[in-house]
Structure 1
Amino acid sequence: MEYSFRQAQQVDASQIWEILARAIQRRKEDGSNQWQDGYPNPSAIKADIEKRNGYVLIDGDTIVGYCAILINDEPEYAKLIGKWLTEGDFVVYHRVAISENYLGKGLAQKMLLHIEDFARQHNIYSVKADTNFDNLGMLNIFEKLGYTYCGEVFFRGAPRKAFEKVLAH
């Protein structure tokens, strides 16, 4: 199965929101407080797309995954309680979600590899991300893909585990 990765368009917003809404529900069913405070929401998706930060993983015409990718744009990362592996430019991603119908196919990993390609295309060799302490799926993916735990960051008052992966040049 060949999946493609591209920048999201406004026309994709409702499909993207459907995927995120189900992911929010799954986090709740898993007993997590991640994404249970009204964020992310449709206006966050709209803003991602307007700022050209939204990206989708596609199977034919179907959007199967979503994430926001930013360069050097996460103020909370400057307040890390811990230590990053590198000091320079970095790519950060947020709001990673895979469609309910495509779970268990390794697509989150595939999307993260596309994000690494995005970083290399911009001559950036550091990828940073964070997740909730109880998001075992994402923690597992970070481990599989060679991320290093660097410490804690806080979003809307809640602590998150922060990770970095240094990419080969």
Structure 2
Amino acid sequence: MSTIFMRAATTNDIPDMMRVIASARKFLGDQDIPQWQGTYPDQAAIEQDVATGIGRVLVVDGKVAGLAALVVGPDPHYLRIDGEGWLADVPYLAVHRFALDGSIRGKQLSRVFFSNIMSEAYRRGFTDLRVDTHAQNVIMQHAITGMGFDFRGIVYMDEPVPERNAYEVRLTTG
């Protein structure tokens, strides 16, 4: 049985976080998905995530195996949404730069990671969680919808291919 948990990222994690990003970038590129095929996310973005306390890592058997940034809204990229739109105008947490190391792919650890993220969001008082991904990234879409997120429309990033499918889940207790 593996030991798996999520914690805040530290500066010591940055090399491992960059390794995970390189693995995810290669995986996306091998599938001809243009997401992350430029320089983003770069080390400066990851260093900023750590410095501001929004970076999280998934640790599997003592090794950093995933990363995410938990951004308190309002997220400027989520102000414009084409489609049904967000469910409610409430405080929310946005998940960005979500990635898992290729060595653990296929072990359902995205579910574990998202479950930890959802628990932290709820514990921090957020009942609304948002995330986006490229339209061709069906594996991420499967992970997102498998955790209860619903497609809400299209949002726009600053990357060369800016359109992203946007998803939202409401965390309720009853």
Q: Which residue of 1 aligns with 2:20?
A: 19
Q: Summarize the alignment of residues 49-60 of structure 1 with structure 2, pairs less than 5 Å apart.
A: 49-60=50-61
Equivalent position amino acid for 1:111 in 2: F
2-structure distance, mates of 1:37, 1:63? 23
Does residue 128 of structure 1 match 2:121? no
Aligned residue number for residue 167 of structure 1: 171
Matches of 1:91 and 1:124, distance apart in 2: 7
Q: Following TM superposition, by how much is the alpha carbon of 1:112 offset from its aligned partner in structure 2, in angstroms? A: 0.8
CA–CA separation in structure 2 for the residues paired with 1:74 and 1:38: 21
Q: Does structure 1 residue 43 correspond to structure 2 residue 44?
A: yes
Secondary structure of 1:49's partner?
helix
Counterpart code for 1:67: A
- Segments of 5+ residues of structure 1 without an aligned counterpart are none
Looking at structure 2, the residues matched to 95 and 64 of structure 1 have their Cα atoms a distance apart, in angstroms, of 13
1:138 to 140, 160, 174: 140
Secondary structure class of the residue paired with 1:33: coil
1:115 corresponds to 2:117: yes
Unpaired segments of 5 or more residues in structure 2? none
Q: Which piece of structure 1 moves more, 70-79 or 21-30?
A: 70-79
Give the Cα–Cα distance (whole angstroms) in 2 for the partners of residues 143 and 14 of structure 1.
30
Deviations 1:1-60 (A, max 9, x none): 231110000010001100101111111110010011210011111111001111001123
Alpha-carbon displacement from aligned partner over 1:48-73 (angstroms, at most 9, x marks no partner): 10011110011232111111111114
- Following superposition, the deviation at residue 148 of structure 1 comes to 1.0
Are positions 1:89 and 2:91 aligned together?
Answer: yes
Q: Which is worse superposed, 3-12 or 140-149?
A: 140-149
SS across alignment from 2:79: helix
Contact 1:54 1:69 survives alignment (8 Å): yes
Contact 2:74 2:91 in 1 (8 A): no
The answer to whether the 8 A contact 1:96-1:108 is kept is no
Paired letter, 1:115 = I
Q: Cα RMSD over matched residues?
A: 1.1
CA contact (8 A) 1:19 1:97 kept: yes
Is residue 90–residue 128 contact of structure 1 (8 Å, CA) maintained in 2? yes
| TM-score normalised by length of structure 1 | 0.96
Q: Which runs of 4+ in 1 moved over 4 A?
A: none
TM-score, structure 2 normalization: 0.93
AA matched with 2:169: K
Percent identity, aligned pairs only, is: 25
**Is this contact kept in 1: 2:133–2:165, CA < 8 A?**
yes
